[in-house]
């Protein structure tokens, strides 16, 4: 246990030991801790020793100091996508989160999730499932928690049912926060995303400055996983998905002047740099939640590997989700989700084999410090950053994605089954 008098800028003084869950700042009733942004763009707790009363609650609530028990039994894996094609199109993958909310929600319930407003990402809550549109889509940025943990505690103590969605570290922070006050969590449903680490927001901030100079307008909305879906509308409420580009991971940027920019993953410097682990939060390289055992009732992710072990769930590349229920509470929800999703149970071993963050931490790139130093430098443009650090796709890669990609493999699988009568 670290004494409060020994703490400087951070709780421990070691940035790689701070997950950024914000539980310590939320639990401190004296304002001795507040979240501030460092030069890399990540938020950390700043300590004011003059306001500290040495209660030790910040130590007790920290998931790095007090481990959160993980759920290791009753895990059930499910793969598929929403039967409502509109929901599927509006979601990052198969619409699993929306389906969970749809089956769980009743009047008086509260739903927490992350919202993106331009480049700003923050947690908030809604009281009607019709208002969850802003919670959909992956944000690829660590959200500001604000007062969400306190609000969850308040609603639970009022006897309301609460769904809280977030990254595993945020779920862990919430659980420790509620444990301090001995809050009954019977009415709490936690939903986590499979997280591969959060990138520094400095990259998109630098990109935004370039776009403003080049096009005369800043980023209004940023969709990291735009599907480019096409719809035929029949009547007023029925839509049919004609195609999608889920596994192309298209980034769409809409500027304030209405201009739209789109780029496929393999030509997008952001994906190349991030997936080479050059700009993640320091703690992501030693994340304690990258295991099969989970901290939330339900785990959600993309159904990667679908074209290999369950191609029948590919669904014209419109997006497919994997759901892993980790508790009895999660299993009860999953049994209802079956009714609104097309799909079936999967072997958990198959799921984990295609979900790297459920097996291991991401490795830290030895060049991270050099990259971050250049990213922080206002005199180095985003173009120079991309030219130096982003890898260009090889012809072999482009062939495997555009000529003989997942779409073609699934079509071949269907053709073969039709010929063989399977």
Summarised one tens digit per residue, pLDDT across range 46-70 is: 988 899 999 999 999 999 999 999 9
Q: In this predicted structure, what is the pLDDT of residue 12? A: 61
Q: Which of 122-136, 180-194, 237-251 has the lowest mean pLDDT?
A: 237-251
| Stated length of the chain | 422
**How far is the C-alpha of 338 from the C-alpha of 324, rounded, in Å?**
13
The residues near 390 (Cβ < 8 Å, ≥ 6 apart) are 269, 272, 273
Q: Is 114 helix (H, G, I), strand (E, B) or coil?
A: strand
- Which residues, at least 6 apart from 157, have a Cβ–Cβ distance to it below 8 Å? 183, 184
Instruction: Supply the pLDDT for residue 238.
Output: 42
Model pLDDT, residue 420 = 83
264 exposure class (CB count in 10 Å sphere: 0-12, 13-18, 19+): middle
Q: What is the pLDDT of residue 24?
A: 94
Residue 7's pLDDT is 39
Q: Quick one: pLDDT at residue 229?
A: 62
- Grade residue 9 by pLDDT with cuts at 50, 70 and 90: very low
**10: pLDDT strictly greater than 80:** no
Reported as a pLDDT band with limits 50, 70 and 90, residue 240 is: very low
Alpha-carbon distances of 7 from 36, 62, 186, 281, rounded to whole Å? 15, 14, 35, 20
The mean per-residue pLDDT over the stretch 8-32 comes to: 84
In this prediction, residue 14 carries a pLDDT of: 85
Residues paired with 232 in a beta bridge = 240
**Which two three-digit tokens encode residue 56?**
């030790």
The label of the residue with tokens 């459920």 reads 358
Give me the chain's average pLDDT, please: 92
Greater model confidence, 234 or 193: 193
Residue ranges of the alpha helices (H) in 158-237? 168-180, 202-215
- pLDDT for the residue numbered 419: 87
The share of the chain scoring above pLDDT 90, in percent, equals: 84
So what's the pLDDT on residue 241?
46
Residue 414: what pLDDT? 85
The residue among 122, 136, 97 whose CA lies nearest residue 224 is 136
Q: Which domains does the chain have, with CATH numbers?
A: 4-61 (3.30.70.20), 76-198+280-358 (3.40.640), 202-278+362-391 (no CATH)
pLDDT at 73 over 80: no
Give the model's confidence band at 422: pLDDT under 50 very low, under 70 low, under 90 confident, else very high. Answer: low
Burial 180-208 (b: 16+ CB within 10 A, else e): eeebebebbbbbbbbbbbbbbbbbbebbb
With a cut of 50, say whether residue 323 has pLDDT above it.
yes
Average pLDDT of the residues in 84-102: 94
User: Comparing 54-63, 138-147, 240-249, 330-339, which segment has the lowest mean pLDDT?
Assistant: 240-249
């Amino acid at each position: 246990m670290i004494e409060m008098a020994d703490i400087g800028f951070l709780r421990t003084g070691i940035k790689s030991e701070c997950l950024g869950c914000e539980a310590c700042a939320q639990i401190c009733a004296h304002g001795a801790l507040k979240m501030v942004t460092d030069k890399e763009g990540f938020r950390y707790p700043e300590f004011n020793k003059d306001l500290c009363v040495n209660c030790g609650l910040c130590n007790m609530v920290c998931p790095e100091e007090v481990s959160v028990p993980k759920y290791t039994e009753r895990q059930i894996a499910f793969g598929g996508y929403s039967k409502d094609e509109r929901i599927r199109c509006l979601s990052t993958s198969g619409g699993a989160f929306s389906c969970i909310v749809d089956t769980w929600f009743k009047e008086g319930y509260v739903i927490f999730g992350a919202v993106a407003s331009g480049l700003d990402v923050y947690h908030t809550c809604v009281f009607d499932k019709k208002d969850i549109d802003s919670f959909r889509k992956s944000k690829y940025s660590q959200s500001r928690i604000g007062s969400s943990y306190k609000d969850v505690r308040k609603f639970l103590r009022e006897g309301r049912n609460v769904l809280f969605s977030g990254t595993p570290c945020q779920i862990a922070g919430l659980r420790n926060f509620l444990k301090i006050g001995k809050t009954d969590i019977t009415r709490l449903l936690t939903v986590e995303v499979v997280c591969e680490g959060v990138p520094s927001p400095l990259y998109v901030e630098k990109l935004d400055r370039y776009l403003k100079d080049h096009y005369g307008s800043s980023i209004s909305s940023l969709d990291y996983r735009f599907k480019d879906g096409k719809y035929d509308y029949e009547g007023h409420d029925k839509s049919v998905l004609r195609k999608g580009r889920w596994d192309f991971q298209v980034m769409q940027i809409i500027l304030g002047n209405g201009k739209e920019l789109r780029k496929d993953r393999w030509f997008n410097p952001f994906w190349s740099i991030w997936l080479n682990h050059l700009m993640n939060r320091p703690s992501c390289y030693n994340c304690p939640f990258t295991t099969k055992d989970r901290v939330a009732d339900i785990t959600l992710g993309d159904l990667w590997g679908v074209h290999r072990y369950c191609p029948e769930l590919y669904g014209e590349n419109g997006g497919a989700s994997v759901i892993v229920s980790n508790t009895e509470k999660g299993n009860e929800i999953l049994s209802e989700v079956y009714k609104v999703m097309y799909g079936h149970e999967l072997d958990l071993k198959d799921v984990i084999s295609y979900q790297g963050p459920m097996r291991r931490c991401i490795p830290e790139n030895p060049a991270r410090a050099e990259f971050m130093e250049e990213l922080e430098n206002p005199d180095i443009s985003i173009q120079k950053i991309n030219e130096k650090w982003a890898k260009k796709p090889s012809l072999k890669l482009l062939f495997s994605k555009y000529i003989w990609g997942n779409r073609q493999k699934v079509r071949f699988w269907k053709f073969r089954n039709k010929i063989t009568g399977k």
